[in-house]
Each structure stands twice: as structure tokens, then as C-alpha cells.
Amino acid sequence: MNILSRTRDGRLLTLAINSQEDGWRYALVDLTTGRIDWIGAEDLTRHSEKFAETEYHEIPARDGLRIPILVTRPNGVTGPGPMVALIHGGPASRDDWHFGLYTQFLANRGYAVLRVNYRGSTGHGRSFQRAGDRQYGRAMQDDIQDAVRWTVARGIADPDKVAIMGGSFGGYSAMMGLARDPDTYAAGLSWIGVMDLEHQTVNAPHFWGADKTEWT
């Protein structure tokens, strides 16, 4: 759920609410009276029978930290098959239980989709987020590789047909995965990926402040 806007007096809010099955719905909420008016929606229900189901798991990383992951398998597929590790950006962000266009598109094309809330992701407590400080390409990348290995061990992914992709930090992670763990990934795709951490650290906007200390 996202707060899109509010009135100056704070009485009225417009909210965007997302579910895996229904996509985004939009509501006008009166905090004084408690009234909720639904003002718009993405009509995805006509396609719902084609959507792939997503499962939530927590897996142990190699150092014992519990890593939340989301696994979406194509409808009708039971054995190992091709899989895409779809890495969220940020890294101060997270994947959660919502309708994902990329996820459903890839599943519709026959790919399982793995989304990993590696250490450094938000939404799982401050200590979990801080565990990602200065772990670019290190423990954060380990978490993703450990999640891929978990899916292979459980017959979800074909170990010879795993790709990694993402944007922003996810793009960095995709390229790092190919460079660091070439035996894990058969292909990768990066968009708006961060490729030069030294340049970013030196040239980041001043208002990013302490965030720069998290990177390297």
C-alpha cells in the first residue's frame, strides 16, 4: 500500500493498494469519518486464471542469516526449468507480495522467477538492513547465490538455465553475478545498473548523505 497524496489538513488520503491477484486499486480515505471510496482500479481479474502463483520462503544464508525470498513458477510446471533471478534495486527497497508485471510476464513465458530480499533490503528490521552495509558484491551477492542454489536443490530451477537481471542496484548485482559466479548464471541483463562504485561515491548528490557509507 502506498500513500499517493493527502490534503493540507491531513483529513483525506489517496491510497494505492496492491495485491498479487488484482493489481492496483485506488481509494480515497476520510480519516475523520473512516469512509473509504474506491475511485479506480486496474481490471486484471479477467486475466487472473493465467497468473502464476507466488510462494514465500525464508532460507538460511551461508552465514546463518534468514533470507526472505519469493518464488513464482509457471502454471503447470512441476520439474526443474529455466529461471530468472529478478533482483530489486535500492538496495534500500524490497520485493513483497504484490502483482509484478515482470514476474508474471516471465512466468507466462515459461520461466520461474526468484526474487530475493538480500541483506540490506528494507522491511525486515533495522539490523537486517544494516547487515548489508559495505557488502556490495560480498554477503549481499552471497544471499542471492544461496537462494539460487536453494531453488536448484528443490527441483525448481535447472542449474544450467539460470539468468540474473535487475535495474539500478539490481543491475549492478546482475553484472556482479556474471563476473563473480559465472558457473551459477548462464545469462544476465542489467538496466540503469551502477557499474562504477568509486565514481558514484565521489559524485553522489550531497543530499544522499550517510547513504554513501553503505556502499563500499
Contact partners, residue 88, CB within 8 Å, separation at least 6 = 94, 95, 115, 117, 121, 166, 169, 170
**What is the per-residue pLDDT for 25?**
82
122-160 exposure pattern, b = at least 16 Cβ within 10 A, e = fewer: bebeeebbebbeebbbebbbbbbbbbbbbbbeeebbbee
Instruction: Provide the whole-model pTM.
Output: 0.82
Please, what is the Cα angle at 215 between 210 and 216, to 5 degrees? 120
Cα separation of 134 and 176, whole Å?
15
**At 97, which amino acid appears?**
W
Is residue 68 reached through a cis peptide bond, with omega within 30 degrees of 0 on the bond before it? no
87-111: per-residue pLDDT in tens?
999 898 999 888 788 999 999 999 9
CB 113 within 8 A of CB 106: yes
Pick the CATH number of 51-214 from 3.10.150.10, 3.10.310.10, 3.40.640.10, 3.40.50.1820: 3.40.50.1820
- Stretches in the chain below the pLDDT threshold 70: 19-22, 43-47, 207-216
Cα separation of 14 and 140, whole Å?
35
**What is the per-residue pLDDT for 94?**
92
Q: Where are the domains of the chain?
A: 2-46, 51-214
**How is residue 205 written as a grid cell?**
548528490
**What is the per-residue pLDDT for 203?**
80
**What is the per-residue pLDDT for 211?**
61
* Other beta carbons less than 10 A from residue 41's beta carbon: 14
